[in-house]
C-alpha cells in the first residue's frame, strides 16, 4: 500500500528572515520527505525509519537526492529548502553526491592518462638505450627495431628519429635517412643532428645546393650550442668536402671550356698567319705570330688562376692551427684565432693570449665578422681552399 503524499511546502519552505538555515535536517522533515518518496518509489518504511531512529541523516539525504532526480516528486519550494538545510558533508567518498563524483572521475581519468604516458616514456627510454647498445655492437637492424618501437610509444621524442637515421646512414639507406631527418626537424627546427643528417642524405642524392644549405644551417646551430663539440668538427669536415667536390666539378667544367676556347683561338691565329703569308705579308721568322700566341696563353692562364691551388693568405689563417678560419674570434689584444682552437688553449694551457701573453677570459672573445666575410669571399673565388686532409 502506497503512503499518502503530503504537502510540505508550507512547513519546510519557511525560514527566518535574514538567517540562513545551516542546522542538520530535523527528523520530522526527513520523515515527511520520505513519506512522499515512498509513494512513488515503493521503498520499505521500516528501512527508512531505521535510519531515522539511529540518527543517520546523511545517507537519507543522499537517497532523497537520487529519488528526487529519478521521480521529480518534491515541489520546487521544498527542494530549495531541502538543499539549503543539507547537513555538512565530510571529505570522504561516501559523503559525495552524484554530481560531485564527476570531477573526481575526471581527475582520476587524467591521473590514469598521465600514469600511462609516464609508463610509455619509461618504456621508450629503455628501448632507446637498448637501441644505443645494439648500435655500439654493430647490430644496426636490431637498433632500428628498438628505435622504431620507441617512436611508436612516444612519437614526439625527436632523438629517436635521428638515432634511427644514423643507423640508416651506416646502412647507406639515404632515403630513410632523409625521412627521419625531416621528421626530427618538424619537431624541432633547431635540431642540429636533423639538419646534419638531412644535408648528408641530400648530398648523396646529388642535390648539392640543398645539401650544402642544410650543412651550413647545422654548422651555425652547432657553433651556438657547443663550439668545441665533436659535431661542429664533423659538420665542418662534411661541408668542406661537399664544397670542395662542388668546386672540383665546376673547375673541371671551366678548365675544359677554357682549353677548348684556347685551342680555337690558337687555330684562328694560325689560319690568319698562313693567310697573311700567302698574300705576301712578310713574317719570315714568325715573331709576330709567336707573340700573339704568348699573349693568348697569358690571358687564359689568368682566367684559370682562381682554380689553381696555392697558399692561403696568412691573414685568413689561424695563428695556432694555421688552417683557414671557420669561426674567427678576436681577443682584447687584437689577435684573431679560430674559436674552438683558442677555447681549447684557454682550457688546457692557460687563460692568456698565445701571442701577446695578455690575460684572456672566454667571455672576452668577440666574433671577427670582418675576417669571416673575407674568408667567405676568398673561398667563393678559390674553392680549392676547402680541401681537407
Phi, psi dihedrals of residue 356, rounded to the nearest 5°: -90, -15
**Residue of 130, 65, 52, 136 whose CA lies nearest to 95:** 65
Per-residue model confidence (pLDDT) at position 64: 59
* The three grid cell numbers given for residue 221, joined into one nine-digit string: 646551430
Mean pLDDT of the chain: 77
Q: How confident is the model at residue 279 (pLDDT cuts 50, 70, 90)?
A: low
Average pLDDT estimate for 129-134 = 94
At 315-342, the pLDDT tens digits run: 999 999 999 999 999 999 999 999 989 9
Q: Is the pLDDT of residue 35 over 60?
A: no
Residue carrying the nine cell digits 688552417: 323
Whole-prediction pTM value?
A: 0.59
| DSSP assigned state of 359 | B
Model confidence at 115, pLDDT cuts 50, 70, 90, reads: low
258-264: which pairs have CB atoms within 8 A and are 24 or more residues apart?
258/300, 258/303, 258/304, 261/300, 262/296, 262/297, 262/300
Half-sphere exposure in the Cβ direction for 112 (13 Å, CA)? 6
Question: What SS3 state is found at 54?
Answer: helix
What is the C-alpha separation between 88 and 22, in angstroms, rounded?
8
Amino acid at each position: 500500500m502506497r503512503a499518502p503524499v503530503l504537502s510540505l511546502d508550507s512547513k519546510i519552505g519557511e525560514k527566518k528572515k535574514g538567517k540562513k538555515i545551516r542546522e542538520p535536517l530535523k527528523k520530522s522533515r526527513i520523515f515527511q520527505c520520505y513519506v512522499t518518496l515512498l509513494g512513488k518509489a515503493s521503498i520499505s518504511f521500516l528501512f527508512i525509519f531505521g535510519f531515522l531512529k539511529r540518527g543517520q541523516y546523511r545517507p537519507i539525504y543522499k537517497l532523497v537526492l537520487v529519488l528526487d532526480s529519478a521521480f521529480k516528486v518534491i515541489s520546487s519550494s521544498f527542494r530549495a529548502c531541502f538543499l539549503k538545510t543539507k547537513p555538512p558533508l565530510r571529505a570522504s567518498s561516501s559523503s559525495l553526491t552524484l554530481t560531485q563524483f564527476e570531477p573526481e572521475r575526471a581527475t582520476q581519468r587524467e591521473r590514469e592518462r598521465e600514469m600511462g604516458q609516464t609508463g610509455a616514456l619509461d618504456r621508450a627510454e629503455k628501448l632507446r638505450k637498448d637501441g644505443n647498445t645494439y648500435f655500439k655492437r654493430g647490430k644496426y637492424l636490431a637498433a632500428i627495431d628498438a628505435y622504431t618501437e620507441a617512436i611508436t610509444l612516444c612519437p614526439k621524442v625527436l632523438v629517436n628519429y635521428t638515432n634511427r637515421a644514423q643507423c640508416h646512414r651506416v646502412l647507406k639507406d639515404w632515403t630513410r635517412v632523409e625521412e627521419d631527418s625531416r621528421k626530427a626537424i618538424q619537431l624541432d627546427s633547431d635540431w642540429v643532428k636533423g639538419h646534419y643528417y638531412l644535408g648528408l642524405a641530400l648530398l648523396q642524392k646529388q642535390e648539392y645546393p640543398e645539401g650544402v644549405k642544410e650543412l651550413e644551417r647545422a654548422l651555425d646551430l652547432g657553433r651556438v650550442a657547443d663550439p668545441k663539440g665533436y659535431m661542429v668538427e664533423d659538420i665542418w669536415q662534411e661541408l668542406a668536402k661537399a664544397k670542395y667536390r662542388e668546386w672540383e666539378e665546376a673547375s673541371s667544367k671551366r678548365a675544359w671550356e677554357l682549353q677548348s676556347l684556347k685551342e680555337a683561338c690558337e687555330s684562328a691565329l694560325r689560319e690568319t698567319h698562313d693567310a697573311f703569308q700567302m698574300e705576301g705579308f712578310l713574317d719570315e721568322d714568325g715573331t709576330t705570330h709567336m707573340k700573339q700566341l704568348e699573349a693568348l696563353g697569358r690571358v687564359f692562364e689568368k682566367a684559370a688562376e682562381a682554380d689553381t691551388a696555392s697558399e692561403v693568405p696568412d691573414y685568413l689563417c689561424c695563428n695556432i692551427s694555421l688552417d683557414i678560419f671557420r669561426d674567427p674570434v678576436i681577443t682584447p689584444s687584437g689577435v684573431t684565432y679560430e674559436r674552438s682552437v683558442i677555447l681549447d688553449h684557454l682550457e688546457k694551457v692557460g687563460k692568456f693570449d698565445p701571442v701577446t701573453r695578455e690575460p684572456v677570459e672566454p667571455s672576452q672573445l668577440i666574433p671577427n665578422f670582418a675576417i669571416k666575410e673575407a674568408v667567405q669571399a676568398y673561398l667563393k673565388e678559390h674553392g680549392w681552399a676547402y680541401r681537407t686532409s
